[in-house]
Amino acid sequence: MSLDSVVKSINNTNGKFAEQAQQRLDSLTKPQGSMGRLEDFAKQLVAITENTMPELDKKVIFTFAGDHGVADEGVSAFPKEVTPQMVLNFVHGGAGINVLARHSGSDVVVVDIGVDYDFGDLKKDGFVSRKIVSGTKNIRKGPAMTREEAEKCIQVGIDLADEYAKKGYKIFGTGEMGIANTTPTSVITSVVTGKSVEEITGRGTGINDEALQNKVQVIKDIIAVNKPDPADPIDMLAKVGGAEIAGIAGLVLGAAANKVPVVIDGFISTAGALIAFLIEPKTRDYMFAAHMSQEIGHRSLLEMMNLRPILDLDMRLGEGTGAALAISVIEAGLKVYKEMATFAEAAVSEQH
C-alpha cells in the first residue's frame, strides 16, 4: 500500500471490543482492576485486533539500521564503522536484542535501510536489504536526504508491516541501530516540542561533558541551517532525520493499517513513532510504549503522544531491547485475560 492509501485506511480502535474485553476482565476471579495495567494491555490488544481472544503466537522485532553523516561532527563515543559491525552481530545472534528477543520468543529482522556499507549478497535468516541511502548526509551542513528518499524510507516500513502481517505475525516491535542517531532524534524532539536543545539532549552512547557541549552546539547549528518544519513531518525527516527513523515511522503506519499492535522501543524509535503520529494521529491507538529511556528527551516525545511507558529500567541501548522485554509483559496481561477463571467457572462467590 502507498503512504496515502495507508493513512486513509487507518481508523481508531473499536470501542465495542474494548467494552467486551472489560466485561470479561471484570468477571475474572480477582477484585476488579486488581491486575492494574496488565488488564489495560489485554483490553488494548482486543480492541486493536477486533478479536475477543487474540493470539500472540508470532512476534517480531524490526531493527532498522542506518548511518549518519553527522557522525563526522564528533557527536558519538563510537566511530561509524560500528553500525555495519553491529548489523553483522545482530545477524549472528550475539547482540542484546538477540538475547532479549529469544527470552520473549520474538524473531528479529534486521533491516539495512541506510547503512554506509556494502553487505554484498549476505543471505542470512533475519537480514533484509532495503537500502534507500548509504548513510544520510551531514545535517550540520545541509539536508539529510531528499523528500523522495524520506518517502521511500517510510514506504520500506509500510511494506514490511504488510509483508509480516500477511505472514501471520501478531505483534511488532521497533528497534534501530545507527551511530550518531540520537543527534537527529534530539533535533526532531526540540523542533516538535519547542523545548531548548539543552533540555532534550543526552549523552547517547556515553559521551563526556566536552563532547556533550559540542553535541548541543551541533544540534543548534543543524536547526539553524535546515529550518525543519514541525507542521510537515516528512519535511523534518528529509531535512534532519535518519533512514531508520523514517522506516520506523512507516512500520507504525503499516501496523495500524493492518490492525497489528506495535511496541515502540526507546528514544529513537519513539521519534519514528511520533512522525507516524504527526502524519496520522489515530496510529496512537495501536502503540505500546515499551520503556522510559535514560535519554533525557524521551519523556517529552512520549508526553506529546500521551503514551505511558510500560517499564523504567534505566536502559538506553536501543536495538529494540526495551520492546522485547515489554512484549513479555504485554503477553502476560493477555494470558491473565485469557487463562484466569471467571467467578462462574471457578464457583467463587463474587463481591457484594
pLDDT band at 166 (very low <50, low <70, confident <90, very high): very high
Is 180 contained in some domain? yes
pLDDT band at 347 (very low <50, low <70, confident <90, very high): confident
What span, in angstroms and rounded, lies between the C-alpha atoms of 301 and 200?
A: 10
What span, in angstroms and rounded, lies between the C-alpha atoms of 67 and 80?
A: 7
Q: Determine the average pLDDT of the residues in 13-22.
A: 97
The pTM for the full model equals 0.97
For 282-307, letters b (16+ CB in 10 Å) and e give: ebbbbbbbbbbbbbbbbbbbbeebeb
Q: Are residues 126 and 223 in the same domain?
A: yes
Q: Are residues 238 and 176 in the same domain?
A: yes
Chain segment 27-80, per-residue pLDDT in tens: 999 999 999 999 999 999 999 999 999 999 999 999 999 999 999 999 999 999
What span, in angstroms and rounded, lies between the C-alpha atoms of 199 and 189?
A: 10
Q: Are residues 122 and 190 in the same domain?
A: yes
pLDDT band at 324 (very low <50, low <70, confident <90, very high): very high
Q: Are residues 47 and 84 in the same domain?
A: no
pLDDT band at 20 (very low <50, low <70, confident <90, very high): very high
- The reported pLDDT for the residue numbered 350 is 80
CB 104 within 8 Å of CB 328: yes
280 is catalytic: no
Q: Are residues 21 and 113 in the same domain?
A: no
Is 166 contained in some domain? yes
Q: Which of 149, 176, 280, 319 is an active site residue?
A: 319
Q: Are residues 32 and 109 in the same domain?
A: no
State the chain's mean pLDDT as an integer. Answer: 97
CB 249 within 8 Å of CB 275: yes
Q: Are residues 87 and 14 in the same domain?
A: no
Chain segment 196-245, per-residue pLDDT in tens: 999 999 988 888 999 899 999 999 999 999 999 999 999 999 999 999 99
CB 22 within 8 Å of CB 42: no
Is 351 contained in some domain? no
Domain that holds residue 20: 3-53+337-346
- The reported pLDDT for the residue numbered 348 is 82
